[in-house]
Amino acid sequence: MMMAGGEAKAADFNITTPASFFSINGTNSSGNPTLTLVRGRTYTFAVSTASFHPFNIGTSVGGPPPPGVSGSPTSSGTVTFVVPTNAANCAYFCSVHFFNGSIVMIDPPAPPTIRIVNLKVGTNLTVTSTLASTNGLTLTPEFNTNLTTTNWSALTVQSNKFLNGTNEIICGKPAGNPVFLRLRAQTQ
């Protein structure tokens, strides 16, 4: 388990060596599976292998670690891979016996298109927008009273509903005139 902001977070990959291959998350039948990682994301590997099968991530089998890798090689501990946005494919391998698997890098999915289709101003603001799915995103309404600055402030959300491609956010009305609004989409 990893600690993230005081919360326990499970490793993305659990690495063991039940024989002369790496098992990833319990995949014993087909050792050394290909891993697919998304550029720009961070992954943790909880390693618990035989001491003579240290887990290593390299630019190639036997190669040096690529940028963003820390804690490698190890047979007991955590390897962290902060995948650069321009990362090339690489490999994981036993640095003693050189059995190995591939790590394939892919680009992150394109962000969804969000359209504000209605804005109702009263005691509160009601912002209605459309998107295909939240796809792991949180929509946060923000306001600014001066577009010559980059200081956007979050509005207090009272209700946030998503149903059938429509997102409705009810939030407090900001003070000031003029007021500019935007929806910030962030990964949860």
Which of 106, 132, 158 is at the close of a domain?
Answer: 106
Domain span at 92: 2-106
Distance CA 15, CA 90 (A): 17
Domain of 126, CATH number, reads: 2.60.40.10
What pLDDT shows up at residue 43? 97
pTM: 0.66
Distance CA 34, CA 45 (A): 14
**Total structural domains in the chain?**
2
Residues 13 and 93 in one domain: yes
Domain of 62, CATH number, reads: 2.60.40.420
Residues 11 and 95 in one domain: yes
Contact (Cβ atoms closer than 8 angstroms) between residue 83 and residue 38? yes
Confidence of residue 2 (pLDDT cuts 50, 70, 90): very low
Contact (Cβ atoms closer than 8 angstroms) between residue 142 and residue 107? no
Name the CA radius of gyration of the chain, rounded. Answer: 23
* Residue 1 reports pLDDT greater than 50: no
Residues 6 and 97 in one domain: yes
Give the angle 46-74-70 at the CA atoms, nearest 5°: 75
Residues 9 and 91 in one domain: yes
Which of 71, 106, 141 is at the close of a domain?
Answer: 106
